[in-house]
């Protein structure tokens, strides 16, 4: 009887283990991230594998999730619990989620190809996707791939979806950042004046908005002849007089999602589903720029979903009742193809 109980316990343990999700961490030395800026091309990739993955031969759709500026770049136990709960409560059928490390020396790549820091959009879409398809049991088809992200990651999700509708079929942007140059990053904010008075990275690290501008400049308008940060700004000041560099502004507009819509309208129409949302109590630039993005899509007849909810920039994202659990994952369940 004792042996029988032991066997039953063993089988029960094996079954429970097989039904438990796990997060694995891969490292990839990315050819697309060769650069002259001292960025490490070796990147950690966190991969969430759903309960039952090891015990089955099934293939799964994949959500590529993009993290925010200065944000955590691994799948945490708290995130894993939210993903598990969504599957258990039938918000979404079992799936794989992938999050790559886009944390740079200046704390964010903005998911943009840069001649200085590396080709971060190509890394996510062109190099990482085939790697994941080869390494894991994915459904290797655009209709089974979504791209999503929060803040800077929402910016990146919209941008990469516009560039690569042949790779991703659906996009969800949570409180996407820097869609347009408005409010705190507009020409008449204090951010550009603050940056002009900063002479080194130690000083830069003490101020949020100038650090964002430098990260963006290194992505959008790098300049190896402009130390100490090796990038150009579209707006500078001579005293209180605003100086606009139209050449640099044009480079930034080529990379700002609101300004990209007309050029990539055809690609946006190829996507199966588009959604963005934002918190009513977020910093003032977020409701404004998200509304601008949605309005421009509407003006061009591009079908999408846009929603304002009661929340700030982060309190309703990876919460038990947050947007990932209640909205992003059901959106992916409805719009991705499962086996």
Confidence (pTM): 0.93
Residue 200 has pLDDT above 80, yes or no: yes
Mean pLDDT of all residues in 204-224: 96
**What do you get for the CA distance between the two ends of the chain, in Å?**
42
Question: What's the pLDDT at 27?
Answer: 97
Q: What would the pLDDT profile of 38-77 be if each residue is shown by its tens digit?
A: 999 999 999 999 999 999 999 999 999 999 998 888 999 9
Q: Compute CA 295 distance to the chain's CA centroid, rounded to the nearest angstrom.
A: 22
For the chain, domains (ranges, CATH) are 19-180+257-335 (3.40.50.1820), 184-249 (no CATH)
H-only helix segments in 58-204: 77-88, 120-122, 129-135, 152-163, 191-196, 201-204
User: How many whole angstroms separate alpha carbon 286 and alpha carbon 327?
Assistant: 19
Per-residue confidence band for 19, with pLDDT thresholds at 50, 70 and 90: confident
User: How many whole angstroms separate alpha carbon 148 and alpha carbon 157?
Assistant: 5
Q: Compute CA 71 distance to the chain's CA centroid, rounded to the nearest angstrom.
A: 11
Q: What would the pLDDT profile of 136-193 be if each residue is shown by its tens digit?
A: 999 999 999 999 999 999 999 999 999 999 999 999 999 999 999 999 999 989 999 9
Per-residue confidence band for 3, with pLDDT thresholds at 50, 70 and 90: low
Mean pLDDT of all residues in 79-103: 98
């Amino acid at each position: 009887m004792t042996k029988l109980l032991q066997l039953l316990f063993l089988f029960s343990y094996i079954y429970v283990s097989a039904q438990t999700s796990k997060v694995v961490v891969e490292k990839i030395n990315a050819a697309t991230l060769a650069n002259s800026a001292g960025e490490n091309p070796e990147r950690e990739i966190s991969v969430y594998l759903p309960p039952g993955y090891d015990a089955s031969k099934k293939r799964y759709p994949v959500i590529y999730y993009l993290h925010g500026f200065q944000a955590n770049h691994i799948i945490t136990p708290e995130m894993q619990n939210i993903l598990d709960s969504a599957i258990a409560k039938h918000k979404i059928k079992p799936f794989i989620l992938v999050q790559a490390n886009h944390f740079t020396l200046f704390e964010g790549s903005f998911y943009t190809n840069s001649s200085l820091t590396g080709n971060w959009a190509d890394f996510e879409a062109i190099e990482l996707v085939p790697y994941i398809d080869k390494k894991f049991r994915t459904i290797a088809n655009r209709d089974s791939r979504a791209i999503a992200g929060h803040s800077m990651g929402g910016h990146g999700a919209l941008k990469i979806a516009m560039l690569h509708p042949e790779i991703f079929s659906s996009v969800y942007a949570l409180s996407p950042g820097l869609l347009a140059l408005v409010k705190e990053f507009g020409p008449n904010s204090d951010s550009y004046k603050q940056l002009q008075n900063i002479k080194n990275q130690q000083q830069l690290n003490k101020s949020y908005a100038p650090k964002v501008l430098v990260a963006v400049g290194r992505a959008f308008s790098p300049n190896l002849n402009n130390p100490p940060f090796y990038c150009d700004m579209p707006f500078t000041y001579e005293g209180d007089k605003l100086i606009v560099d139209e050449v640099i502004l044009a480079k930034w507009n080529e990379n700002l999602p609101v300004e990209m819509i007309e050029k990539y309208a055809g690609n946006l129409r190829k996507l199966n589903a588009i959604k963005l949302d934002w918190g009513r109590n977020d910093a003032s630039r977020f409701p404004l720029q998200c509304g601008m993005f949605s309005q421009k899509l509407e003006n061009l007849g591009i079908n999408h979903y846009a929603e304002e909810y009661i929340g700030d920039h982060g309190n309703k994202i990876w919460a038990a009742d947050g947007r990932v659990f209640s909205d992003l994952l059901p959106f992916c369940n409805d719009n991705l193809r499962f086996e």
